[in-house]
């Protein structure tokens, strides 16, 4: 079996997907037992089961209680294989499949194990953090010492951030054709709807012209209509984003209703307004009020 002890900070930071049960509640005593989340297994372990597990302690064993079961393929905190220069945030997680690993995985709070006198050995990925008052020279010296140690790979936080941004953009390039297709479909739909609406309103425009409105200024009516539609849609979209962010629906996404997001919405609304008036303007300018009234 595989055992992964988690620090309290990691437990509060990230929760993998569970097929049943609950994630750790650090305020719960669990009746003095060590809580554990287990992967899919052939041991018949279920929520609420209590088992004794051998360990390095004076008692030689520790009693644990199963509080949750991981979903098959859930992404857990564990560095996947990657070269030190290429490690990104994606390498901090791995998908755990019991059918592939063929042994159950137990995740437990390291603090609870230590409370029971269990000796926890550092084995695997380690995230090294510094206090703010640690000078930069000390950090660089430590990074150099770590690289000279027998470690598979190491990377500092700044390089990890750069690699993560690079990875995110590579994923965005994969989605770009889909986004471009959706954008083109939206533009074509907007132009078509406005052209149909203009065709239906030509007689009304001709009457407006007889009443004194300049014929070419009828295009302005279509433009104002498009601006109102785009503004209403943009406002509704921003309100929905703000509400979703307020209730926490965007907590696990990179979508944030900040100034950049609002600027993109405004630019999209502007493009929609301008493009949606091109074909209606051509329809209006290709005919005259007399021709329209005679044909109707």
Could you read off the pLDDT of 247-263 as tens digits, one per residue?
878 766 667 778 888 88
Residues 151 and 177 placed together within one structural domain of the fold? no
Residues 254 and 196 placed together within one structural domain of the fold? yes
Domain assignment of residue 167, yes or no: no
Buried/exposed code over 131-140 (b: 16+ C-beta within 10 A; e: otherwise): eeeeeeeeee
Residues 55 and 134 placed together within one structural domain of the fold? yes
Domain assignment of residue 89, yes or no: yes
Radius of gyration over every alpha carbon of the chain, rounded to an integer in angstroms? 31
Q: Taking the model in full, what pTM does it have?
A: 0.58
Domain assignment of residue 162, yes or no: no
Residues 131 and 17 placed together within one structural domain of the fold? yes
Q: Mind listing the pLDDT tens digit of every residue in the chain (296 residues)?
A: 788 888 888 888 888 999 999 999 989 989 889 999 999 988 888 999 999 888 777 778 889 999 999 999 888 877 555 555 677 777 778 888 998 888 899 999 988 988 888 888 766 667 777 888 888 888 888 878 777 765 666 777 777 788 888 888 887 788 888 888 888 888 788 778 888 888 888 888 888 888 888 877 888 888 888 888 888 988 898 899 889 888 878 766 667 778 888 888 888 888 888 887 888 888 888 878 787 777 76
Domain assignment of residue 46, yes or no: yes
Angle at Cα 269 formed by Cα 267 and Cα 274, nearest 5°?
95
Query: Which residue, chain included where needed, has tokens 């009020």?
Result: 289
Residues 131 and 231 placed together within one structural domain of the fold? no
Domain assignment of residue 186, yes or no: yes
Residues 143 and 181 placed together within one structural domain of the fold? no
CB 145 within 8 Å of CB 127: no
- Say which residues have a Cβ less than 8 Å from residue 156's Cβ, sequence separation at least 6: 143
**pLDDT score, position 34:** 92
Q: Which secondary-structure segment (H or E) carries 176?
A: helix 157-210
Structural domain harbouring 58: 2-155
Domain assignment of residue 161, yes or no: no
Residues 179 and 238 placed together within one structural domain of the fold? yes
Residues 132 and 223 placed together within one structural domain of the fold? no
Which CA distances in Å does 178 have to 79, 165, 170, 175, 233?
Answer: 31, 21, 14, 5, 22
Count up the domains in the chain and report the number: 2
CB 66 within 8 Å of CB 104: no
Q: Name residue 68's beta-bridge partners.
A: 21, 37
């Amino acid at each position: 079996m595989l055992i992964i002890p988690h620090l309290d900070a990691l437990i509060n930071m990230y929760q993998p997907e569970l097929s049943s049960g609950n994630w750790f509640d650090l305020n719960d005593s669990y009746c003095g037992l060590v809580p554990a989340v287990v992967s899919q297994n052939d041991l018949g372990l279920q929520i609420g089961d209590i088992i004794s597990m051998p360990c390095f302690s004076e008692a030689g064993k520790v009693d644990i209680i199963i509080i949750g079961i991981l979903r098959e393929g859930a992404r857990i905190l564990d560095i996947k294989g990657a070269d030190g220069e290429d490690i990104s945030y994606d390498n901090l997680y791995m998908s755990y499949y019991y059918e592939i690993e063929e042994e159950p995985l137990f995740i437990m709070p390291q603090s609870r194990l230590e409370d029971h006198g269990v000796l926890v050995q550092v084995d695997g990925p380690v995230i090294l953090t510094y206090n703010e008052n640690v000078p930069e020279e000390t950090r660089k010296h430590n990074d150099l010492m770590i690289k000279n140690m027998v470690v598979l790979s190491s990377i500092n936080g700044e390089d990890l951030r750069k690699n993560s941004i690079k990875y995110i953009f590579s994923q965005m390039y994969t989605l770009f054709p889909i986004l471009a297709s959706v954008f083109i479909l939206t533009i074509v739909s907007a132009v078509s709807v406005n052209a149909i609406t203009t065709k239906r309103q030509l007689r009304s425009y001709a009457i407006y012209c007889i009443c004194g409105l300049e014929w070419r200024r009828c295009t302005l009516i279509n433009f104002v209509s498009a601006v109102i539609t785009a503004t209403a849609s943009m406002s509704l979209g921003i309100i929905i984003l703000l509400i979703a962010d307020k209730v926490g629906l965007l907590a696990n996404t990179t979508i944030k209703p900040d100034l950049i997001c609002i600027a993109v919405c405004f630019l999209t609304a502007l493009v929609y307004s301008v493009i949606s008036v091109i074909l209606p303007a051509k329809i209006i300018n290709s005919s005259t009020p007399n021709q329209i009234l005679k044909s109707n």
